[in-house]
Amino acid sequence: MNPSTSKPKALATRNLSAQAVTAAVIERMQSSRSARFKEVMASLVSHLHAFARDVHLSEDEWALAIDFLTRTGQNCSDSRQEFILLSDTLGLSTLVTQLNHPSQGQETEQTVLGPFHREHSPHFPSGADIAQGIEGKPLYISGTVSDAKGHRLAGARVDIWHADPSGAYDVQMQSLEGAMRLRGVFHTDPQGAFHCWSVKPTAYPVPTDGPVGTMLKASRRHAMRPAHVHFMIEAKGYDRLITHVFEQGDRYIDSDAVFGVRDALIIPFTAHRNKTGPDGRVLKGSHYRIHYDFHLRKIAVQKKPMSKDAKR
């Protein structure tokens, strides 16, 4: 065999020291065909091993961590995502969001998805009431969808969801038996506008009956989120926008348990005493209103490389 073409000898895995084991693990991954996989896994192993060395991780602590992650997985279901909640409360969700969607110019700031979004939410016509029988102070939700330059986007998909006046999402209400409430999908009109009705949400604690709650308690942290409404907005040719709007003046606005508040997303939830809504709906009493103008980022179109014939 020609020595110049032979493969480098793999690192031996016998008698590895606490320092040598890291390089051995990384070397074993080098046969992967994916350069990105090798890059990510090498960094993950390096940082994970460095963490264990830095804190001199004990065997009992390692076993506790394994148990914690096992219970986190066991607390996941179709209606609850404990791993997303863990990511949120560790600030990782916000970090990943900001790395991938840094705000630029007039583009609306992105924030965390949260653990309570549901696929296949019901579609409603403009002006419908997504509370669907949930009682509370009426809330009129309106807004527009535009590009970063202010040009309105017709037909944009607007997915809205939020908690009830006691701080619970529909997935947390056993009485609903899985039925969807306080959430719905709308589409913007030719002027790029949308509106609907619901009930005013309030500040609420993230679920604390699972492993994340144990972690928060051990950290002596509160579990509260300020009152907010979630939005997921999509339009062809634009970066999907996942964001919230937060109630101005909420006591938890500066200590959100999932680190998701952005100044540009804080707006007043304005009280109105009149019994007629902006769309003419007749009400039994006063109501609240929120309005937000969303701006989407256009996805850059990559130019196709010229064909050989075109270059001639």
Q: What is the CATH number of the domain that holds 232?
A: 2.60.130.10
Q: Is 158 within the bounds of a domain?
A: yes
3-state SS assignment for residue 35: helix
Q: Is 311 within the bounds of a domain?
A: no
Shared domain check, 227 and 104 = yes
Query: What does 206-271 look like in DSSP terms, one character per residue?
Result: PP-SSHHHHHHHHTT---EE--EEEEEEE-TTBPPEEEEEEETT-TTTTS-TT----GGGEE--EE
Shared domain check, 155 and 261 = yes
Shared domain check, 231 and 121 = yes
Residue 310, pLDDT above cutoff 80: no
| Helices (runs of H) and strands (runs of E) counted in the chain | 7, 11
Shared domain check, 183 and 101 = yes
**Of 38, 55, 72, the domain-final residue:** 55
Q: Is 309 within the bounds of a domain?
A: no
Q: What are the residues facing 194 on neighbouring strands?
A: 143
Q: For residues 74 and 216, what is the distance between their CA atoms, to the nearest angstrom?
A: 18
Shared domain check, 89 and 48 = no
| Residue of 121 and 312 predicted with greater confidence | 121
Q: Is 272 within the bounds of a domain?
A: yes
Shared domain check, 138 and 204 = yes
Residue 280, pLDDT above cutoff 80: yes
Across 18-46, average pLDDT: 94
Q: Is 254 within the bounds of a domain?
A: yes
Q: Are 251 and 102 in contact (CB under 8 A)?
A: no
pLDDT tens profile 116-131: 999 999 999 999 999 9
Shared domain check, 46 and 96 = no
Shared domain check, 160 and 25 = no
Find the domain containing 103 and state its range: 83-296
Shared domain check, 236 and 95 = yes
Q: Is 301 within the bounds of a domain?
A: no
Shared domain check, 163 and 24 = no
pLDDT of residue 115: 87
pLDDT of residue 7: 55
Residue 302, pLDDT above cutoff 70: no
Q: Is 68 within the bounds of a domain?
A: no
Q: Is 12 within the bounds of a domain?
A: yes
Q: For residues 227 and 247, what is the distance between their CA atoms, to the nearest angstrom?
A: 6
Shared domain check, 206 and 126 = yes
Q: Look at the chain and report how many structural domains it folds into.
A: 2
Q: What is the DSSP letter of 150?
A: S
pLDDT tens profile 124-175: 999 999 999 999 999 999 999 999 999 999 999 999 999 999 999 999 998 8
Shared domain check, 237 and 170 = yes
Burial class (CB in 10 A: 0-12, 13-18, 19+), 248: middle
| Residue of 105 and 218 predicted with greater confidence | 218
